[in-house]
Structure 1
Amino acid sequence: MSDFNSKLNSNFGYLFETELLEEIEKVGTYKTVSKNEIIIDIEDYINAMPLLLNGAIKILREDEKGDELVLYYLEKGDTCAITLSCCMGQTKSKIRAVAETDVSLIMLPKEKMTAWLSTYKSWQSFILQSYHNRVEELLQAVDTIAFLKMDERLFKYLKDKAMVNSNDELTTTHKQISDDLHTSRVVVSRLLKKLENDGKIKLFRNSIKVLEL
């Protein structure tokens, strides 16, 4: 069994019919992406939809000044409903997808998307559930921005990042965090020190350990 076939069955064998798995293996393109590499950029025309086999992907929005804001993360077994929407509507991408870790994925050609919706019940259920999950995550992102204080936003961000990386010690910089949260590095540095004093994190030279998950 190939690595592609093994990972496909491991992640989606319990979800999809055998016939659909065979189609995915036939038309899908197996791809590996290095950490921090852009997978889909804003204004790209999307010709394929990703199925994530391993690792995590960060989904971001960008304002008119070029500043970014993290919306949510995709983990193994996920797909991006916004990508699917762009595929079906033949519109340009409104998000940027960046590899949070080294990832492996399958890129599926967009012409198969609607065909499989009417052919395979498991695919239809998977896509509907994906839409539901992404909407929930977008609502959480809105709630976080609207209702949480910045120190609470920062701590939630660190916990989410630790979860998708499966590691409570994060290798990151204050500048990277401030970019993701759309705030200043000075604010991030001050609040990280506050979180450390509260016993929630431990700061090191080039990393942050999350003590409360």
Structure 2
Amino acid sequence: MTEEIVKQKFGYTLDNKIINEILSVGVFKSFIKDDIIIDINQPIRFIPLLLSGNIKILREDNEGNDLLIYFLEAGETCTMSLTCCMGTSKSKIRAVAEQDSSLIMIPAQKMHEWFHSNETWRNFILESYQTRFDEMLEAIDSLAFLKMDERLIKYLANKTILNNSNTISIKHQEIAEDLHTSRVVISRLLKQLEKENRIILGRNKIEVLNFK
């Protein structure tokens, strides 16, 4: 079953040779929602390839508060962990399961070997860097130029895409932590969006109606 999922999620990008090597050396792991997959200052010994679910990548400020950087979807890898791996340093990010998720963990040294020996793997890594770089620039732009209500709308819209559903199961506190603000601010903004008939608030869930 794992072999089928790996081929389904990565076969369009990677050739059969590297797929077989991934299956040979990779370790299959499952995580439930809110599990910490990689933590800050943790030595990076494995590179995660996400097979199912979603993972959020967070940074921590000097006061210990988390700031959302980007989300990972199935078929992707965390380039922040790749960067730490290449520099043989400790993790600078926290990876948390946004949903129940399954991964195949690749020994860090294999990333170096394959980067030089396999073109499809090298292209996959470089494209991953480009995607994450663009997303990080977008995150910086949001922090610098968007008001909190605009950031909230963008956050909820991204959630509907990730979950493939207009109904999001989430607590106001979780949104506040992801957007680096207070629960009171988020609750107020959500109530305003509900008054504008753009969302419907429920118990620990939000139905997105219209963000045009």
Q: Residue 37 of structure 2 contacts residue 97 of structure 2 at CA under 8 Å; is this kept in 1?
A: yes
Partner letter of residue 102 of structure 2?
A: S
- Aligned match for 1:53, one of 51, 54, 57: 51
Of the three residues 46, 50, 75, the one matched with 2:73 is: 75
Instruction: Output the CA distance in 1 between the equivalents of 2:16 and 2:128.
Output: 20
- The equivalent residue for 2:166 is 168
Q: Is the 8 A contact 1:172 1:207 kept in 2?
A: yes
Shift of 1:135: 0.3
Match of 2:208 in 1: 210
Give the Cα–Cα distance (whole angstroms) in 2 for the partners of residues 206 and 21 of structure 1: 40
**Does 2:127 match 1:129?**
yes
**Unpaired runs of at least 5, structure 2:** none
The AA in structure 2 aligned to 1:102 is: D
Q: 4-13 or 194-203: which moved more?
A: 194-203
**Does structure 2 conserve the Cα–Cα contact (< 8 Å) formed by 1:101 and 1:165?**
no
8 Å Cα contact 2:172-2:204 kept in structure 1: no
2:104 to 103, 106, 126: 106
TM-score, normalised via structure 2 length: 0.97
Map residues 137-156 of structure 1 onto 2, 5 A cutoff.
137-156=135-154
Paired AA for residue 77 in structure 1: G
Could you tell me how far apart the structure 1 residues matched to 2:55 and 2:112 are? 24
Distance 1:183 1:177 in 2: 9
Distance in 2 (alpha carbons) for counterparts of 1:60 and 1:200:
28
Structure 1 residue aligned with 2:82: 84
In structure 1, the partner of 2:197 is 199
Determine the structure 1 residue equivalent to 2:180. Answer: 182
Rounded Cα–Cα distance in structure 1 between residues aligned with 2:40 and 2:186: 26
Q: Which amino acid aligns with 1:40?
A: I
Instruction: Give the residue type in structure 1 aligned to 2:41.
Output: E
Runs of at least 4 residues off by over 6 Å = none
Partners of 1:59 and 1:153 in 2: CA distance: 17
* In 2, Cα distance between equivalents of 1:84 and 1:205: 38
In the alignment, the residues of structure 1 paired with residue 89 and residue 124 of structure 2 have an alpha-carbon distance, to the nearest angstrom, of 22
Q: What does residue 18 of structure 2 align with?
A: 20
Q: Distance in 1 between matches of 2:129 and 2:12?
A: 19
Residue 94 of structure 2 corresponds to residue 96 of structure 1: yes
| Residues 59 and 96 in structure 1, CA contact (< 8 A), matched pair in contact too | yes
Aligned to 1:65: 63
Alpha-carbon shift at residue 195 of structure 1 (Å): 1.0
Local SS of the residue matching 2:47: strand
| TM-score where L is the length of structure 1 | 0.96
Equivalent-residue separation in structure 1 for 2:191 and 2:81 (angstroms): 37
Separation in structure 1 between the aligned mates of residue 26 and residue 133 of structure 2, nearest angstrom: 26
SS at match of 1:191: helix
Mean CA deviation greater in 161-170 or 4-13: 161-170
Report the secondary structure of 1:53's partner residue: strand
Name the Cα RMSD after superposition: 1.0
Unmatched 5+ residue regions in structure 1? Answer: none
Identity level (%): 51
Deviation at 1:205, TM superposition (A): 2.2
